[in-house]
Structure 1
Amino acid sequence: MGKKKIKAETVITSHMNADFDAVASMLAAQKIYPEAVVLFPGSQEKNLKDFFISSMSYLFNMADAGTIDFSKVKRLVIVDTRQEDRLKPVAGLLNKEGMEIHIYDHHPALENDIRGKVEDIRQTGATVTILSKIIQERKILITPDEATVMALGIYEDTGSFTYASTTEQDFQMAAFLLSSGANLNTISNLVTKEISPDQITWINDLLNEMTCHKINGYDINVSTISSPDWITDLAAIVQKVVKIENLDVFFSIALMGNKVQIIARSRVPQVDVGKILSTLGGGGHPFAASATISNIPLAQIEQQLIDTIQQTVKVSLVAKELMSSPAITIESRISCKEAATTMARYNINALLVLEPGTHHILGYTTRTVMDKVLYHKLEDLDVKEYMTTEISTISPRADIREIEAKIIGGKQRLLPVIENDALLGVVTRTDLLNFLVQDNKDARNFQKGAEIYEHHTRKRNVKRLLDERLSKQEVALLRKIGAAGDKLGINLFVVGGFVRDLLLYRKVDDMDIVVEGDGISFAKSFALMCKGRCNSHKKFGTAVVVLPDGFKVDVASARREYYKFPAALPTVEMSSIKLDMFRRDFTINTMAIQLNQEKFGTLIDFFGAQRDLKDKTIRTIHNLSFVEDPTRVFRAIKFANRFDFTIGKLTSNLIQNAVRVDFFKNLSGLRVFSELRQILEEDDPIPAIKTLETYGLERVIHPYLAFDNQTVVLLEEVKKALAWHDLLFLDTPYLRWSIYFMVMIRLCSPKIVQEIADRLKFSPTHQRIILNDRIKAEQRLEILEANPPKSNSRLHSILKTFRTELILYMMACAKKDETRKALSLFYTKLRDIKVLIRGEHLITLGVRPGPEFKRIMSSVLKARLDHQVATLENEIDFAKGYIRQNKIVD
């Protein structure tokens, strides 16, 4: 008789060639379905077998397919896959009548996915994350060994939380499993492996056999190797190759015995390796996938793979995505001098020439040609005399191959993009070359949910982040703004610091909206719609909408700027969102979130801002940034200090150049003061002040402004004094910047301080504080240090005329703790003490209004300060005595 078969109503299984996540998910499913039998799906890599079968097999209620009575199975639980061809051991159950199928998976949906009665499909880094969440919610108890196996699945499938697919929930469930006793040493030993000599050999073989296929604009790297035996940890070896060569797309095809295993990795969203390998019986994610194939020749598999990639991967870019818009043009009757000036103004190397009064393209000219024209003193001739008239155009749907053929093959400097006789933009030779050589390769890197918007532009949806970080009222306002834009047929974006602070998880304050069109017109329309009011500034195309609740929304037309000379205020022209971002100061401030309903919450990153946020680096957008606007130097230092970022090496060199060449000489003192004040208003401006000195920027304020070691010490004391004040007096306003500033100028003579005040255009109030009151405060401080007052009234008389800023300045400069305590006593206890007695009381006592009133009141205040009186009655009695003693009343 044959062995009695297991009669189980529920069977748990996963895909063949199960990885750690699949096995961990089966264990987790067993905790949710405790009556179930686990059907291990087949071959695993050697280290996986060794670990689970020899060490942890007791955790599983396992059975082989041959030992299960499938006729009794009523429910099939599938984890970590939805593909029928990856579930061959249970193929008979999938189509069994009345079979109840439960599915738990994190892979993207495919057309031929199995459907289940119960489906829990989530975009997490690992399937076991989904099941762990259920275990946590149902409060199912797990042992430390079970927690270890489940955590191992998360660590393996997220690359120890480094893969782009990793989600917040993966971290949360890993923390839950660690709290349940998961052993990190065991996980580390299995996830982090030393490279063996054999693995080094396979890495070399993969590198030597690598072939790069150019497919629809992408580099698809393929290596084919063979081995008589199974190659241990091939996936880890492939990952090493990807890192060594910094590959965007890599397919490893390995013949091992009579089986071929394909392992693929992708960092390009258009190359979905999971979808590609699903056609070969495999599966996975868009960025990581595998497939195992038997009984097909290696060469045939390789060709089938290449054919599938060509069919699956779409053409990388079309002209509409690559072009720069709007195109910068001139009319044919414009002089060569003006053409050269226009190219210099916008930092471009080629310029379209149009027929006067029309959009008809006659040709184009280049900066090289214009430079030669000017050299030969022909600058007054019309540009049409020296333009290139042979010019090809393309439609916005032209692909990269057509663009490449016309620009490189046709030796054309720029390519107009035309539709219905309208000029939409241009594709320049630089645009094309930048794309082809990938001068910024990590612009191609992507995270889950990201896609390419246009060249070097990252685009992803941040709706969930908006919902998490903003109030419901703020999100509703953004949606209302977007809907208003749709109604008017214009694109709207929230931009700049709002987006930066949102991604940095900092408090979001100002709401800056950019309109691709007439910003003032939109602002007026939106204000009317919201029953608010609108204040506009026509020169710069900006407006402020004040809503009924007082909330302000800044609105601006998308604009480009150029500077007629270094440090000049910009000249403004209407533009697109991309060129609007290009005019800004640093990459981290160049992100925009679209608000139109169809694309609401789409973040657009033109210049690698997300990368620089991740690297914690301040970088300019172009090399002439500080030439055009030297105040950006101060802003670089402010942002680096505020966010604890570093200033990029090139940006730092450009700052040094700006100081050396002195681009600040034409900068108004008012603009310098505005930037300096913002730095000094930061929570801790001291690192920024030190950085200013490092670059020699204190000389921009005044050539003779200098710091010493004591200055730094006193700045730290200011920080302590301000922290003390802000803790006790949260709502008391004061000029925070002025206290740091007074320390910075303490070594300067009164003459120099006056020159600084004049240079920075201080208001009369600021001048009085910095020049006159500061000196008086220093003198009074000397008195306090030399002769500490014996009474409260004496202390009060010394300090009563000083503003908050001067008291805090004295606290910072005080050398003795006794003095600081006295200043603290005055500020917290004495300065607001008032007498209760009033003039009518004195009149009742027979005193006539006049100078005597003030003397009596002063004496009563002195008595109250020194605790001689406490009530109104005490004060009246004291006044009576004072009047009798001084014979004020007859």
Structure 2
Amino acid sequence: MISKFLNLSLTDEQHALLEKLITNSKKININEKDIILSSAETNKFIEGLSVLTRKLAQIEDIDIVFCWVKMRDKTYVVARSDDVDVDVSKVLDVIGGGGHSQASSAVIKDLSFEEIERRINTSLFKNIKKPVVAKDIMSYPARVVSEDESVYRVNELLKKYGHSGIPIVDSKNNLAGIITRKDIDKAIKHGLSHAPVKGFKSHGLVTTGPNTTIQEIQKLMVENGIGRIPIIQKGEIIGIVTRKDILRFLHGRNYLKYPEKTKGKKKYDFTVGQVVERMNSLFPKKIIKIFELVSIISRELKYRAYLVGGVVRDLLLGIQNLDIDIVVEGDGIIFAKRLAEVLKARVESHQKFKTAVLVLEDGKHIDIASARVEYYEKPAALPDIEPGNIRQDLARRDFTINTLALSLNKNSFGEILDFFGGRKDLALKRIKVLHKMSFIEDPTRIFRAVRFEQRLGFKMDSQTEKLALSTIDLNIVSELTGIRIREELIAIFNEENQHRALKRLYEIGALKKIGINIKMDKLQLENIRSTVKMAKKKSFHFTKGFEMWRMILIILMLNRGAGFIRKWCTEMKIRKRDMDIISQSVDGYVQLKSVLGRIITKNSTLYSYLIDKPEELKILISTISKIHYENIKRYFEKLSNIRVLINGNDLKNLNFKPSEDFKIIP
């Protein structure tokens, strides 16, 4: 067998060295990958170790081979790989190697054979991941229908879930077949909507188990000409793998390399070690401890738990975000109660949505939710909810950059899940929806897109912006409830760069659709920017409640009548107290602007003008001119904390005669 590989292209010295490598070779297996390791020693330099390594691979019929040979005072290491999943250049990086994924080499002076082998072994375990199998990519829990279900009902289910086929089970819950949309369409065409689906199911089922590799699944699909394979365990269907699952997996694998247009941009495909390092630098030790407890409890309950959403996005961006959202594949309320026991925290649960809020002893909150799927019956409506898995839960998010998840599970702690290209869009600094109906289903996402644009310095991609404009043109934004619009506006107005966000909302026509029909010209935008800047001055010590969002609304309402303001605020479900402050500020603006247009020398006069005025109005007045600013500044610095302890009745009781002097503060 060996002799056929020892051809005349090798010298006698190379023949001898190859014999040594064959004799000294040993086979190891790491995550189901067979690997050959071999070493030898010679007292002279022999060329062609790379050729000998390749021949050793052919002789042993192994795709991955590492050879190291000491020649005089140096050790030469060569690695070859014909396995696309094993990059030998990364493996040899630990000993200073170079090359590419299929061929790599290194030259070493000061390491023993034992140390070289130890380092290569360690690097192999680090770089060779477990093979992807059915249970890793399948859609679960599997949706099934009874074989007695009508064609009409199954058609409705396929439309609702967007499936092109669904498994059929018999009365004992055993898999009985699969019915596709094509089968359903044919039955309906023949007027058989009322008939049970068992008469149209596919026979000759192809199934497989949860540990079948993705390569084997692909082969089954090609050989049998099918697009979905049920996954069976102990006789029960536990999931289904579709062509879409395969493509999603392959897309994810290729995605990690990033497309050409991201060259020169920061990339976010961090290793697990780098992610954990970031977690330790951005989260307080107390939060890290909670993550560790989540890992323990998820294992105890046989759940899977993930950190999700904005906190993961910001972690990759290097921004601290302590709004902790955890999603579990299981019952979120049960999980929250178990975690609360350990943390001695309080739980506020919402049974309908299977969500809970954990209130810690220091008052901080942690949101815990069951993984779920959302369906929208009509535009702008609140969604219907069903249990789901982590991928389905992430699929309901607003933008790709918010679909990232971080595993808190023991065997994969720190791994980033990225099913929808979120890291690529972070690198490209773009806001991108997950599907074309995203804004139609939930128009508040338009406001969130603008908010994230300004907060992160990102931009909606062209397709997303077109979808936003189309949704606005269809007048769907107007169908939102006042509460939902109010919450989005408050969130935007409490961010930085509010003037830019308003300009953007004006440009895409969203402001007009919610009743704020004013032009966002340079003067208006500068007024907002300068007023916000003024409100942040340290010399202004607010003694009454101040809200940035109220101040911006006051600016937007300055030229509106009292009737419009109250009507609009009522539609937006703004609290009466806030409505009164907005109305009072708009009503009092012109008069206060006039009386404070000159320096007020008497403290009592200045105090009387401003003591009962909202803080937002005072800030707005201070931006008009230098004189207005000086009056307001003096009030905040010297008078705002003064409280008159007596009134006119007290003076009369002291036998003072009522007069104008009663109002004077010295």
Q: Do they fold alike, i.e. is TM over 0.5?
A: yes
1:460–1:604 contact (8 Å) kept in structure 2:
no
Structure 2 residue matching 1:724: 3-state secondary structure? coil
Q: Does 1:698 align with 2:511?
A: yes
**Matched ranges for 1:197-236 at <5 A:** none
Q: Does 1:392 align with 2:215?
A: no
Distance in structure 1 (CA, Å) of the matches to 2:249 and 2:407: 25
Alignment partner, residue 346 of structure 1: 161
Q: Does 1:791 align with 2:592?
A: no
Q: Does 1:602 align with 2:415?
A: yes
Structure 1 residues 520 and 746: CA distance shift in structure 2, 3 A = same
Structure 1 residues 778 and 287: CA distance shift in structure 2, 3 A = farther
Alignment partner, residue 11 of structure 2: none
After TM superposition, give the deviation of residue 262 of structure 1 in Å: 10
After TM superposition, give the deviation of residue 498 of structure 1 in Å: 1.6
After TM superposition, give the deviation of residue 396 of structure 1 in Å: 2.1
Q: Does 1:768 align with 2:580?
A: yes
Distance in structure 1 (CA, Å) of the matches to 2:455 and 2:339: 34
1:630-671 CA-to-partner distances (Å, cap 9, x unmatched) read 111111111111111111222112111211222224311110
2:544–2:615 contact (8 Å) kept in structure 1:
no
Q: Does 1:415 align with 2:225?
A: no
Q: Percent identity?
A: 30
Structure 1 residues 414 and 547: CA distance shift in structure 2, 3 A = same
Alignment partner, residue 627 of structure 2: 818
Distance in structure 1 (CA, Å) of the matches to 2:289 and 2:252: 40
Alignment partner, residue 550 of structure 2: 738
Alignment partner, residue 347 of structure 2: 534
After TM superposition, give the deviation of residue 341 of structure 1 in Å: 2.7
**Matched ranges for 1:30-69 at <5 A:** none
Q: Does 1:367 align with 2:174?
A: no
After TM superposition, give the deviation of residue 112 of structure 1 in Å: 7.5
Q: Does 1:331 align with 2:146?
A: yes
Distance in structure 1 (CA, Å) of the matches to 2:392 and 2:547: 37
858, 863, 868: which one aligns with 2:665: 863
**Matched ranges for 1:530-569 at <5 A:** 530-569=343-382
Structure 1 residues 285 and 411: CA distance shift in structure 2, 3 A = same
Alignment partner, residue 869 of structure 1: none
Distance in structure 1 (CA, Å) of the matches to 2:381 and 2:271: 34
1:503-536 CA-to-partner distances (Å, cap 9, x unmatched) read 2222222111111111101111221232222111
Distance in structure 1 (CA, Å) of the matches to 2:96 and 2:242: 41
1:686-706 CA-to-partner distances (Å, cap 9, x unmatched) read 211111111100122117454
Structure 1 residues 769 and 315: CA distance shift in structure 2, 3 A = closer
1:283–1:289 contact (8 Å) kept in structure 2:
no
After TM superposition, give the deviation of residue 586 of structure 1 in Å: 1.2
Alignment partner, residue 34 of structure 2: none
The farther-off stretch of 669-678 and 411-420 is: 411-420
Q: Which runs of 4+ in 1 moved over 6 A?
A: 82-91, 110-115, 261-266, 275-278, 312-316, 836-841
Alignment partner, residue 654 of structure 2: 847
After TM superposition, give the deviation of residue 764 of structure 1 in Å: 0.8
State the AA in 2 paired with 1:564.
Answer: E
Alignment partner, residue 307 of structure 2: 494
125, 136, 151: which one aligns with 1:321: 136
Structure 1 residues 665 and 777: CA distance shift in structure 2, 3 A = closer
After TM superposition, give the deviation of residue 491 of structure 1 in Å: 1.5
State the AA in 2 paired with 1:753.
Answer: I
Q: Does 1:718 align with 2:534?
A: no
Alignment partner, residue 625 of structure 1: 438
Alignment partner, residue 614 of structure 1: 427
After TM superposition, give the deviation of residue 416 of structure 1 in Å: 0.8
1:315–1:400 contact (8 Å) kept in structure 2:
no
Alignment partner, residue 636 of structure 2: 827
The farther-off stretch of 554-563 and 501-510 is: 501-510
Structure 2 residue matching 1:477: 3-state secondary structure? helix
Distance in structure 2 (CA, Å) of the matches to 1:114 and 1:810: 82
**Matched ranges for 1:161-200 at <5 A:** none
After TM superposition, give the deviation of residue 623 of structure 1 in Å: 1.9
Distance in structure 1 (CA, Å) of the matches to 2:543 and 2:316: 29
Alignment partner, residue 503 of structure 1: 316
Q: Does 1:519 align with 2:332?
A: yes
2:562–2:587 contact (8 Å) kept in structure 1:
no
Q: Does 1:803 align with 2:614?
A: yes
- Greater RCO, CA 8 A, separation 6+: 2
After TM superposition, give the deviation of residue 611 of structure 1 in Å: 1.7
Structure 1 residues 729 and 590: CA distance shift in structure 2, 3 A = farther
The farther-off stretch of 406-415 and 652-661 is: 406-415
How many residue pairs match? The answer is 576
Distance in structure 2 (CA, Å) of the matches to 1:500 and 1:467: 16
State the AA in 2 paired with 1:320.
Answer: K
Distance in structure 2 (CA, Å) of the matches to 1:834 and 1:665: 46
Structure 1 residues 493 and 391: CA distance shift in structure 2, 3 A = same
After TM superposition, give the deviation of residue 790 of structure 1 in Å: 4.2
1:710-752 CA-to-partner distances (Å, cap 9, x unmatched) read 3212112222222325x75499852111111222233444443
Alignment partner, residue 652 of structure 1: 465
Structure 1 residue matching 2:168: 3-state secondary structure? strand
Structure 2 residue matching 1:569: 3-state secondary structure? coil
State the AA in 1 paired with 2:231.
Answer: V
Alignment partner, residue 753 of structure 1: 565
Larger radius of gyration: 1
Structure 1 residue matching 2:211: 3-state secondary structure? coil
Structure 1 residue matching 2:362: 3-state secondary structure? coil
Distance in structure 2 (CA, Å) of the matches to 1:346 and 1:292: 54
State the AA in 2 paired with 1:769.
Answer: I
State the AA in 2 paired with 1:771.
Answer: S
Alignment partner, residue 12 of structure 2: none
Distance in structure 2 (CA, Å) of the matches to 1:525 and 1:276: 42
1:349–1:366 contact (8 Å) kept in structure 2:
yes
Structure 2 residue matching 1:352: 3-state secondary structure? strand
For normalisation by structure 2, the TM-score amounts to 0.77
Distance in structure 2 (CA, Å) of the matches to 1:730 and 1:643: 29
Distance in structure 2 (CA, Å) of the matches to 1:526 and 1:354: 37
1:366-406 CA-to-partner distances (Å, cap 9, x unmatched) read 33443455566644433334333342111223234432233
Distance in structure 1 (CA, Å) of the matches to 2:80 and 2:509: 52
1:19-64 CA-to-partner distances (Å, cap 9, x unmatched) read xxxxxxxxxxxxxxxxxxxxxxxxxxxxxxxxxxxxxxxxxxxxxx
| Unpaired runs of at least 5, structure 2 | 1-36, 47-64, 71-76, 108-126, 260-268
2:407–2:414 contact (8 Å) kept in structure 1:
yes
After TM superposition, give the deviation of residue 493 of structure 1 in Å: 1.6
Distance in structure 2 (CA, Å) of the matches to 1:830 and 1:800: 9
Alignment partner, residue 170 of structure 1: none
Structure 1 residues 378 and 798: CA distance shift in structure 2, 3 A = farther
Structure 1 residue matching 2:195: 3-state secondary structure? coil
Structure 1 residue matching 2:536: 3-state secondary structure? helix
Alignment partner, residue 284 of structure 2: 471
State the AA in 2 paired with 1:862.
Answer: I
1:393–1:417 contact (8 Å) kept in structure 2:
yes
Distance in structure 1 (CA, Å) of the matches to 2:643 and 2:213: 81
| Unpaired runs of at least 5, structure 1 | 1-81, 92-109, 116-260, 294-311, 447-456, 865-890
Alignment partner, residue 26 of structure 2: none
After TM superposition, give the deviation of residue 819 of structure 1 in Å: 1.4
The farther-off stretch of 817-826 and 772-781 is: 772-781
The farther-off stretch of 799-808 and 697-706 is: 697-706
480, 504, 518: which one aligns with 2:293: 480
Structure 1 residues 793 and 486: CA distance shift in structure 2, 3 A = same
State the AA in 1 paired with 2:654.
Answer: V
1:705–1:745 contact (8 Å) kept in structure 2:
no
